[in-house]
Amino acid sequence: MTGATIIGAGVAGLCVARALLDRGVDVMLVDRHADIGPHACSWWAGGMLAPFCEGESAEEPVVRLGREAADWWAAKTSAVHRCGSLVVSSMRDTADLARFARRTTGYRQVTGSEISDLEPDLGQRFTKGLFFESEAHLAPRDALAELRASVLADGAAFVQDDADPDRYAQRGLTIDCRGFHARDKLRDLRGVKGEMLVLSCPDVTLTRPIRLLHPRIPLYLVPRGDGIFMLGATMIEGHAGKHATARALLELLSAAYALNPAFGEAEVLEIGVDSRPAFLDNLPRIRRSGNLIRANGLFRHGFLLAPALARMVADLIIDNKTPEVMDETAA
Ligand SMILES: Cc1cc2nc3c(=O)[nH]c(=O)nc-3n(C[C@H](O)[C@H](O)[C@H](O)COP(=O)(O)OP(=O)(O)OC[C@H]3O[C@@H](n4cnc5c(N)ncnc54)[C@H](O)[C@@H]3O)c2cc1C
């Protein structure tokens, strides 16, 4: 094996590029855009590397494979923060906290005073929580920029092209990592709409991602440093609409206000919307047909699962090892 072309330079394509370069494969990266930006779903991610928390609603492989992610990103970039994550609920929603605890592992229960020791700016608002100490988070845009720079520095070529992977595959090994845009070929791929906000609120300091449980719209807040926060994210089936709805913004902002009323004075820097690429069971898939491999379906686990997905693509190409997320559907 000498060379491979990767179509799509979001988190999936960049991680596959890194994994192949690390194993001595020449890489050509193709994207319709010159650089990573708001056109890619990866741009809008919260960047939580929280496999145990995800276990609340995700299948077992997400928890297991996601545990590779923090070390992988820390080895490849400087964007990782290892401060754990904190899950809290209002007094009214303590049943949700108990349910979350039953469905997850890797945490310790924390009292109100332990919560305010961990995050003084949450004050005494919460009396119980779960602290997932081994979890991490990263700044997705920084991580993507660093990863892209490193693969280009290590010899990957970049071509800007609105590409048809099937045509590239006629010339050599091609990996389709176009995320939701691959729906033209992956008919069982669906979009799950996510809406998020970037807020500036210098009056609040938080160290780690906070999840606020709520029966209708669970919210998370990821600190980006310097008073900037990512607030997310809705999960709407059917990728309806390209813009955020008033209801989503109201619910996200009122949840932030419940975490700390100082968020009432926050400036809204960005409103982001995109479709997470997902298969029916919300697990990623690798499909192969001759020279063409499609790696997709990262759903809400782009940064969490792309390292494992990339490792499996490299194992398939180099060692002919069948990935555990391979399915028999032709690519
Ligand atoms: C609001 C929100 C919050 C999220 N939070 C998290 C989180 O906290 N943690 C987490 O792990 N995941 C999170 N995700 C999920 C994550 O963002 C996605 O799983 C991930 O970005 C999918 O990556 P991808 O590389 O498959 O697709 P994309 O990032 O969309 O990349 C696809 C690339 O393919 C290119 N492309 C498309 N068509 C063509 C073509 N024909 N030719 C050439 N190039 C093409 C595009 O330009 C793009 O660069 C979140 C998603 C959303 C929307």
Nearest CA to ligand 1 atom 26: 179
The verdict on the CB of residue 300 being under 6 Å from ligand 1 is yes
pLDDT of amino acid 1: 66
Testing ligand 1's pocket by substitution, the residue of 67, 287, 298 carrying the most ligand atoms inside 8 A of its CB is 298
Distance CA(223)–CA(204), nearest Å, equals 10
Phi, psi of 15 (to 5 degrees): -70, -40
pLDDT of amino acid 207: 97
Distance CA(275)–CA(190), nearest Å, equals 8
pLDDT of amino acid 331: 73
| Ligand 1 nearest atom to the CA of residue 220, by list position | 8
CATH 3.30.9.10 residue window(s) in the chain? 85-133+191-278
| Beta-bridge mates of residue 193 | 236, 275
pLDDT in tens, 13-37: 999 999 999 999 999 999 999 999 9
Largest CA distance in the chain: 62
pLDDT in tens, 57-111: 999 999 999 999 999 999 999 999 999 999 999 888 889 999 999 999 999 999 9
Testing ligand 1's pocket by substitution, the residue of 73, 132, 178, 293 carrying the most ligand atoms inside 8 A of its CB is 178
Question: Is the pLDDT at 151 greater than 90, yes or no?
Answer: yes
State the residue for tokens 């479709």: 275
pLDDT of amino acid 240: 63
The verdict on the CB of residue 47 being under 6 Å from ligand 1 is yes
Q: What share of the chain has pLDDT > 90, as a percent?
A: 89
- Whole-number Å distance, alpha carbon 156 to ligand 1 midpoint, is 20
The verdict on the CB of residue 276 being under 6 Å from ligand 1 is yes
Residue type, 194: G
Task: Note the CATH number of domain 85-133+191-278.
Answer: 3.30.9.10
Nearest CA to ligand 1 atom 4: 45
- Across the range 276-288, mean pLDDT stands at 96
Would you state the torsion angle of the CA atoms of residues 248, 254, 258, 262, taken in this order, to the nearest 10 degrees?
120
- pTM for the predicted model, two decimal places: 0.97
Rg of the chain over Cα atoms, rounded to whole angstroms, equals: 20
Question: Is the pLDDT at 204 greater than 90, yes or no?
Answer: yes
The verdict on the CB of residue 50 being under 6 Å from ligand 1 is no
Q: Do 259 and 272 meet the contact criterion of CB atoms below 8 Å apart?
A: no
State the residue for tokens 């006629």: 170
pLDDT of amino acid 292: 97
Q: Which of 74-78, 118-122, 207-211, 242-246 has the lowest mean pLDDT?
A: 242-246
- Whole-number Å distance, alpha carbon 260 to ligand 1 midpoint, is 30
CA–CA distances in Å: residue 160 to residues 34, 153, 204? 6, 17, 41
Distance CA(34)–CA(147), nearest Å, equals 15
- Whole-number Å distance, alpha carbon 243 to ligand 1 midpoint, is 17
Nearest CA to ligand 1 atom 31: 10
| Beta-bridge mates of residue 34 | none
pLDDT of amino acid 239: 58
pLDDT of amino acid 2: 78
The CATH architecture of the domain made up of 3-45+139-189+280-319 is: 3-Layer(bba) Sandwich (3.50)
- For the chain, give the mean pLDDT: 95
- Whole-number Å distance, alpha carbon 124 to ligand 1 midpoint, is 37
CATH 3.50.50.60 residue window(s) in the chain? 3-45+139-189+280-319
The verdict on the CB of residue 163 being under 6 Å from ligand 1 is yes
- Across the range 282-297, mean pLDDT stands at 97
DSSP assigned state of 39: T
- Whole-number Å distance, alpha carbon 99 to ligand 1 midpoint, is 30
Distance CA(8)–CA(15), nearest Å, equals 11
The verdict on the CB of residue 7 being under 6 Å from ligand 1 is yes
Q: How confident is the model at residue 288 (pLDDT cuts 50, 70, 90)?
A: very high
